[in-house]
Structure 1
Amino acid sequence: MPESSSTLPAPAEPAAEASPAAAAPEPRVLPLAAILLAVFVVPMSISGTAVALPGIGADTGAGAAPLQWVVNAFNVAFACFTLVWGSVADVVGRVKAFAAGAAVYAVASLGSALASDVLLLDAARALAGVGGAAIFSCGAAILSTVYEGPARAKAFALFGTVAGVGIAVGPSLSGVLLQTVSWRWVFALHAVALAVVLLAVPVIARAVPPTPRTGAKIDVPGSAVFVVAMVLLTTAIVQGSQWGWGSAGVLGLFAGAVVALAVFGSVEKRRAHPLLDLSLLRNRHFLALCLVPVAGSFGFVTMLTYLPTYLTEVTGRGTGAAGLIMVLLTAPMLVFPLLAAKSVARGVSPLTIIYVSLGALVVGDAALTVFGPDVSVGVVALPMIVTGAGMALAAGLVDGQALALVDPAKAGMAAGFLNTLRLGSEAVAVALYGSVLTTLTASRSYDSAFHLVLWGLAAICLVLGLVVFALLGGRARSEDR
């Protein structure tokens, strides 16, 4: 379809050799369940590890900086290797890459549980981040390969639902394990779950149709340069609030990241089989869909991270009460992804749902300004649910829609790029929120600063929504799915 068209082009047709309908029977429940179990563990680890930090610090005697890198090492490694794994999956096979990532994650989680000091734990968490990147990129690529039509929409809806549930229950489950056994069981549980996933790999392999050999080779130079660029960029973002955004160290990291990304672009233009096919970035429909999770990072993930602090510091609620209130924000993840999939199956345009999700993020963040020191839960319940729905409606749906627009042979690469933007934007959004809030609280109350930041988040989501709307041409039709 011409670039000026106002609707999405038809999804790329799979090659005859890789057609799910022709090469494999309708997949059974077990392969999907195994992938979803792995997907559940990764975000559960991201949100749950932070709860374990006090126990880890008390047990290992770690200082604040190395202790924080128990979380940061995972996030940085995840962001750095998501695109790499996606591209590797297209070369060596998605099931092999998924299994390798699950194995790496299982071993790293076992190492985390057995770590004798915090530096070993930091290294193990970084290795787990590498494995987690494979699980997300390769898991999404497998679903895109195996499923078609309404079945694909439902599979990706479950993908989004399970990821959201993992984020939501991670802190609670970690808290229970800390109270009943020890922080080591937080990581041991991850290792056990991934061991179960590895047992199901042969079943997953039978459900995935054979992919034709293309002769492509892993882009080692491109991968190395990209990882360097992402390490510099994500470290700058992570350390910005600690060192100061204008410090020489942070500015030097950002400058190094810019140089490395420029070198990466130059390298990729010369590679026959690049890590990232730059033509993907010229597909405005694919790029638009990749920006939708970025809006979710600013509009939802920041609230998931910082709203509990507001509830305890400003409203005076206890941690238990704050946790219960946060269910209003996370509960939509249990319902709306599947509701979106059912709506698509009944003829509602996927783009209409995506536009509604973006609008809900804007309205929800703006409406959350009703929060105040003495506000009742009944007043804030609807804004919190709307904000959660803004994230949940597009969760999974946008992945399936984006991957349907690319050549099936590049599904891993496309999934890697999408998740790199998703994870990278989460790091940027959370770090930027914290930095701006800290700056504002120097001259005003926490409550006032919180409200100003909320208006800023709503504005960012509005701008991103308008960009997505413009790139997609502004119209949604049911035949676009």
Structure 2
Amino acid sequence: MAVLLSSLSFPLTITGASVALPGLADDLNASPTGAQWVVTGYNLCFAAFLAFGGSLADLFGKRRLYVVGVSAFLVGSVLCSFAGDVGVLVAARLLAGVGAAVATAAGQSLLAATFDGPARARVFGALGTVLGIGLTFGPTVSGFLVDAVGWRAVFGVPAVLAGLVLLLCPFLPAVPGIGGKQVDWAGGFLFTVGLGALISVSVEGPVLGLAHPVVLGAVVLVVVSAVGFVRVERRRCAPMFDLALLGDRSFLGYSLVAATMMGLLVPLLVYLPSYFIDVVGLDPAQAGLWMLMLTLPSVLLPALGAAIARRSPRLLSVGAILVTTAGVAGLVTIGPEATPWTLLAPLLLTGTGIGVTTGVIDGLAISSAPTAQAGTAAGLFNTARLATETVTLAAVGSALAFLGGGHLAGGGFTDALRTVVIALGCFGLLTAAGAHVLLRREVVAAR
């Protein structure tokens, strides 16, 4: 119950921030770049510390690190609720993202260490359902909260949930750490610095210009961190990521599929509610209801995806990307006069591709790796997906701000959003082709 409750609060704070963006930007007089960091900063820390948090949990004990992670998330969320400045809000979101990452990794490790056999399958099935519910209904619940209480409520409610989780923590089993296990401090540091620098380039590049010393310095930092990370991981006996897994075509193909789906979905989750509120003229509650057209298939369609995967995993993988890409590209007709009927087809198509792959691609990817490397494969798979999601979100936010003339409203927002969905459509087509080649070659090699 503790892990399920915390797992519900983490996606809720991601989708909630998207609905709260227009209100908090006005209230705190935040620039488009500053408002963008409210969302991107949380995702950045979540992606950067997820695998690192798992290593720390193995070393220091799963319950102990779970408590640390939930506590950090609670403190960060409370600070978000009372922030009077966008800088404080972004810093609080960074802290909450680190806490969520550590608690997610430690919580899942705690479940795996506590349950065996059919019980473990049921528990992780329930975990997937809760995550799907948080993703699906997060925008809708957040919209009603913003309407009823204000934007600060979308950070306050997850804080309350985290507080309830801490009350349950003394009753959790104490799973001790593994003596003698080494943490890949160097790999974790280089990965975090490199990802942070890459996000900074995506966010600040369009604003400052690619020739600005700050942006050029960040580019250099990305390259140096990437080279150093690869060298460190290849030399360590117990690396944070086993890069040899990237030589497995099936694992690489399924990871590409999962990363693509999040890269297409998350920017829409974040910026469509703002468009509905600022341009179409909806209130936050109405915007949340409209978002159900996009998110509801994630709860309804995983079983269909599993059935398709049993017949042809490649058909599911490539087909899902193409369906989602068609839906995203269909949003090119969006405008101030949009109605649920004009958006129904593109949003449902996008959500359908996401829905049939939810949880299914995870299983295919991890199953394609050797059993002894299942844990390492899961960490690398989830980090690749989250990192791609974060980079795409940052790039889309910067593109919208740049193309919209520095503000997200009116015709400038519409033209910018139309350009962005075309670019996302091209991205989807390229990755669909890549997944087709990777998974086809693996099938041919197997035969």
TM-score of the superposition, structure 1-length normalised? 0.76
Q: Structure 1 pair 87/472, CA: closer, same or farther in 2 (3 Å)?
A: farther
Q: Which position in structure 2 is the counterpart of 1:227? A: 192
Deviates more, 1:396-405 or 1:162-171: 162-171
Name the structure 1 match of 2:220: 255
- What 5-or-longer segments of structure 1 have no aligned partner? 1-32
Q: Does 1:454 align with 2:417?
A: no
Letter in structure 1 aligned against 2:247? R
How far apart are 1:274 and its partner, in Å? 1.5
Q: Which runs of 5+ in 2 are unaligned?
A: 406-410
Question: Against the structure 1 CA distance between its residues 449 and 224, is the aligned structure 2 distance closer, same or farther, given a 3 Å change threshold?
Answer: closer
Residues in 2 aligned to 1:82 and 1:201: alpha-carbon distance in whole angstroms: 20
Q: Look up the match of 2:320.
A: 357
For residues 277 and 147 of structure 2, what CA distance do their matches in structure 1 show? 21
In the other structure, the counterpart of 1:239 is 204
Amino acid of the structure 2 residue aligned with 1:266: R
Is 1:165 matched with 2:115? no
The answer on 1:38 being equivalent to 2:6 is yes
1:393 to 356, 365, 386: 356
Select 2:431's aligned residue among 450, 459, 464.
464
Structure 1 residue 261: Cα displacement:
1.6
The 1:151–1:178 alpha-carbon spacing in structure 2 relative to 1, beyond 3 Å, is: same
Q: What's the counterpart of residue 11 of structure 1?
A: none
Deviates more, 1:97-106 or 1:122-131: 97-106
Give the CA deviation at 1:48: 1.4
Matching residue within 364, 378, 382 for 1:419: 382
Identity percentage of aligned residues: 35
Q: What residue is the counterpart of 1:30 in the other structure?
A: none
1:404 to 362, 367, 389: 367
Q: Residues 93 and 411 from structure 1, CA distance in 2 versus in 1: closer, same or farther, beyond 3 angstroms?
A: farther
1:433 alignment partner in structure 2:
396
160-169 vs 358-367, which moves further: 160-169
**How far apart are residue 140 of structure 1 and its match?**
4.9
1:368-411 Cα shifts (integer Å, max 9, x gaps): 34545556533431221110111122122222332334456654
> Who is 2:258 aligned against?
293
Distance change >3 Å, CA 84–CA 303, structure 1 → 2: same
Aligned partner (choices 93, 97, 101) of residue 125 of structure 1: 93
**In 1, are the aligned partners of 2:143 and 2:287 still within 8 Å (CA)?**
no
Q: Is the 8 A contact 1:358 1:465 kept in 2?
A: yes
Q: Which has the higher contact order (CA 8 A, sep 6+)?
A: 1
Residue type matched to 1:247 in 2? H
What TM-score, normalized by structure 2, do the two folds share? 0.81
Distance 1:450 1:124, change over 3 A: closer
| Matching of residues 55-454 of structure 1 within 5 Å | 64=31, 69-92=37-60, 94=62, 96-113=64-81, 119-140=87-108, 146=115, 152=121, 158-181=126-149, 185-200=153-168, 205=173, 215-311=180-276, 321-341=286-306, 343=307, 347-371=310-334, 374=337, 376-406=339-369, 410-437=373-400, 447=414, 450-454=417-421
CA distance in 2, matches of 1:129, 1:162: 19
One of 14, 17, 33 as aligned partner of 1:49: 17
Q: Deviation of residue 250 (structure 1)?
A: 1.9
**Where does residue 408 of structure 2 map in the other structure?**
none
CA contact (8 A) 2:140 2:292 kept: no
Q: Which moved more, 1:114-123 or 1:383-392?
A: 114-123
Report the 3-state secondary structure (helix = DSSP H, G, I; strand = E; otherwise coil) of the residue aligned with 1:236: helix
Q: How many residues align?
A: 438
What's the offset of the Cα at 1:315?
A: 5.3
User: How far off its partner does 1:196 sit?
Assistant: 3.3
Q: Report the RMSD for the aligned CA atoms in angstroms.
A: 3.9
Cα distance, 1:420 vs structure 2: 2.3
Change (3 A) 1:460 1:175: closer
| Secondary structure at the counterpart of residue 291 of structure 2 | helix
Question: Is 1:144–1:403's contact at 8 Å kept on the other side of the alignment?
Answer: no
Alpha carbons of structure 1 residues 427 and 173: separation in structure 2 relative to 1, 3 Å: same
Q: Displacement, 1:132? A: 1.0
Letter in 1 for 2:43: N
CA separation of 1:454/1:395 partners in 2, compared to 1, >3 Å: closer, same or farther?
same
SS at structure 2 position matched to 1:473: helix
Taking structure 1 as reference, are residues 410 and 95 closer, same or farther at Cα in structure 2, changes over 3 Å only?
farther
> Deviation of residue 41 (structure 1)?
1.0
